[in-house]
Structure 1
Amino acid sequence: MLWLLFLLVAWGAAAISCIGLCIVAARTGLLHDASADSARKGPDGPELTLYETAFLAGGPHRVVDLALVTMHLRRRLLLAHTGWATVVDPEGRDEMERAVIRAIGPRGRSPIPPVRRAAAAAETVRALADRLVTAGLAVPGGAGTDIAAAVRAVRGAALLVVAMGAAALLTPGHERGTDGPVVPLLVWFGLPLALTLGCLIIARMEIHPYSCWASPAGQRLLAANEIPAAAKNHGLLAAIAVRGVRAVDDPALRSALGVRRPSS
């Protein structure tokens, strides 16, 4: 009767992982987000701004990277290949640029990594995140990571069910058919497998892709290339907003941002 122990393990893993995924999805409201406010786009208008696009695609640090490159290209900030940022124009054109200037400090010069961290934690970025969450385009901080982890747990449980079923079939007696027929055994293990696979299918239909920042509605905007017209006029800024600093081709700027060019 060793197969009963394997069956209990399979059912326990399937039930715990599926319930966990349902709890996380319900807590973040993602199951309802896919159908609610489907016509809404940006929190402040019919279209996403460039900073909103960057946040949905990569979070607070992506917003800061976008601000740094924007200020550098417009000669308001100098990003040296040594990894230092130097303020050229101390008057920021918007709240995000002013947050970057404050993060650099009164000396007007600072290494870029601490500037990234300080600016990403600024009130300006938090307010941007709150607006996107309120609009249903972003998930609360950390919720997307929880969803991805819960989905991985369900996948692991499905693999464990298969492994437990195989182990039960290989236990002495089942291979000879003396401890009961094989078909009912497969049915017993097929039930938790169906539970986990069904949960994964529903999750993929309702909340995929499992972004750390964008809700399903926000992901649909990104997938549809809903990039503001101002960004389209500058291909590099649009690429950074969507893909991050790895979209930068300038070797000096890549070096300043700490991006290594992948080996060929």
Structure 2
Amino acid sequence: MQIKAEQLYLGYDEENIVKNLSMTPPIGKISVILGANGCGKSTLLKSFARLLDARKGQITLDEKSLSSYKTKTLSTHIGLLPQNPVVPEGISVMDLVLRGRYPYQKMFSSLTKKDFDIVHQSLSMMNIEDLHDKNVDELSGGQRQRVWIALSLAQDTDILLLDEPTTYLDISYQIEILDSLMTINKKKNTTIVMVLHDINLAARYADYIYALKEGELIKEGKPEEIITSELMKEVYGLDCKVIEDPIAHSPFVIPKGQYHQ
């Protein structure tokens, strides 16, 4: 399915956070939204999940207004992993991931074999099958993030939105999470749109990048096309040099800053 924003304005109270933004994330690809803190990245993802209404402009899903979809139907097409999801107290991994199947349940019906099969597949894709009976509160940060992504996978949506899925994780966990998302993208052809703070990881894993500044989209394209020292200066105020990543052959940003000689 194709999600599309056209001349979008979003905000809170009297302030517009996102201004006149149009974007069409490519179907079946990984798109990453970059930008400094407060530039509207999370706000944009919330609007894609219909948690925030547009002030102007519109968001469409397969050329139908997002607002025209029933909530339950929309939940079978778009999944969102927010920045700081709240874990229900005392819930097990299995019970939490099973919640991803609720949009498919009919009134007064119980979960089916298909539901449990999809949940087990989701746990398997995130390599956490052995944690199914563990309490989510007892898990490490990396394990917990895998559970949340498994929940999103169990929702079995065409589009997956992730707001900083690697924040606060050690570098090894970051790589594991992003490798898993790339596998999901390839195996299921899921359209993934995520916010990342690490520019180099974004350049390595993204098929397409959107660069925001003060709520406006200032550049978009493939990483090798748009990740330049000029863009980093414009978006982050960062003096840097951009070289080729010797492993991924993607752009690699080296900040200048101060250093010991």
**TM-score per shorter chain, which class?**
under 0.3
- Relative to total residues, which structure has the larger strand share, 1 or 2? 2
Work out which of the two has the higher radius of gyration on C-alpha atoms and give 1 or 2: 1
TM-score by length of 2: 0.24
TM-score by length of 1: 0.24
- Relative to total residues, which structure has the larger helix share, 1 or 2? 1
